[in-house]
Structure 1
Amino acid sequence: MRFIDTLPLYSLVLICLTLGLAPFVPEPHVWEKLKMLVAGDLTRPIDIFDFAFHGLPWVLLAIKLSRISRHGAG
């Protein structure tokens, strides 16, 4: 967890807004893959990789925010 503590919060937010939401049109990949997951259609390896690739920034941001809320900004 030391790695996540060293990541600047603004960097994670920027990565989420760019890579995490790319491509923006017609809809963000992560949103498309979440809908596929709920529908049970997330079966192809490329879709699973795409979901992991675009979802990882959001997971890291959630972990970072959780650690900040528990232990403070320091």
Structure 2
Amino acid sequence: MQWIDKIPLTALVIAALALGLAPLMPEPHLWQKLRMLANGTLSRPIDIFDLVMHASVPLLLAVRLIRMARSGNKPGPSA
């Protein structure tokens, strides 16, 4: 999992915001799909793919931040 540490943190944050919030109107897909998952209505393959696509980079960012916190590394200017 060391390849995660090589991804620039700034790029991950920008990508996570872009995919996590797209499209902004009427409501972000990630939020919509998470609500569908909670309600038990996430059953169509396209909806499952949409959830995976929109959640992948935010989850990758979360893993990166957790790994940084556990190792005691703090992001520097080139992170």
Same fold (TM over 0.5): yes
Partner residue in 2 for 1:31: 31
Q: Summarize the alignment of residues 3-22 of structure 1 with structure 2, pairs less than 5 Å apart.
A: 3-22=3-22
CA distance in 1, matches of 2:46, 2:25: 19
What runs of 5+ residues in structure 2 fail to find an aligned partner?
75-79
Root-mean-square deviation (CA, aligned residues, Å) is 1.0
Q: Summarize the alignment of residues 33-48 of structure 1 with structure 2, pairs less than 5 Å apart.
A: 33-48=33-48
Partner residue in 2 for 1:70: 70
Shift of 1:72: 2.4
Shift of 1:56: 0.2
CA distance in 1, matches of 2:59, 2:17: 13
Alignment identity in percent?
53
Runs of 4 or more above 3 Å deviation: none
Partner residue in 1 for 2:2: 2
Partner residue in 1 for 2:50: 50
Task: Look up the SS of the partner of 1:25 in the other structure.
Answer: coil
Q: Which has the larger radius of gyration?
A: 2
